[in-house]
Amino acid sequence: MKSFEDLDAWKFGMDLVEEVYALVKQLPKNEQFGLSQQLRRAVTSVVANLAEGFSRYTCLDKANKFIIARGECSEVKALLLITIRLRLLCRSEAEKGLQLCDQTGKLLSGLTHYFQQQSKISVSSTIPITNNQ
């Protein structure tokens, strides 16, 4: 892969960004600096941390950024659930966003797991083997 833009997690994450920005427009104006702003910041952090993680050098650095992106994705889901609970959005209005959170989160978990495993392989291949006979 040449770019983070080739990752499925990026593609789903960008779909999530578009969906959340569309949903935020439906929120009341008095939420402009509350939930709306928090949703926009969290959703953009998902893809920003994913992109940053892709560009990190070590597998552990990559995994760490993907973990952060996953956390932001969970924050977006929690905020969408809050908008439903407060009756600012209907469940049906937020459903696509919730599904995109789940899909993006699963892909980020997969990336995290992969790079955590790669870091273990890298570490074990650099440890000298001694024969204690």
Task: Return the CATH number at 91.
Answer: 1.20.1440.60
d(CA 121, CA 89): 46
- Please report whether residue 131 resides in a domain: no
d(CA 30, CA 34): 8
- Please report whether residue 81 resides in a domain: yes
- Please report whether residue 45 resides in a domain: yes
- Please report whether residue 35 resides in a domain: yes
Q: Which residues of the chain have pLDDT under 50?
A: 125-129, 133
Contact by Cβ (8 Å): 83, 35: yes
- Please report whether residue 74 resides in a domain: yes
Instruction: Give the 3-state secondary structure of residue 133.
Output: coil
d(CA 27, CA 14): 20
What is the pLDDT, as a whole number, of residue 132?
A: 54
What is the model's pTM? 0.86
Domain region containing 66: 4-125
What is the pLDDT, as a whole number, of residue 127?
A: 47
Report the number of distinct structural domains present in the chain: 1
Task: Tell me the one-letter amino acid at 115.
Answer: F
Task: Tell me the one-letter amino acid at 85.
Answer: R
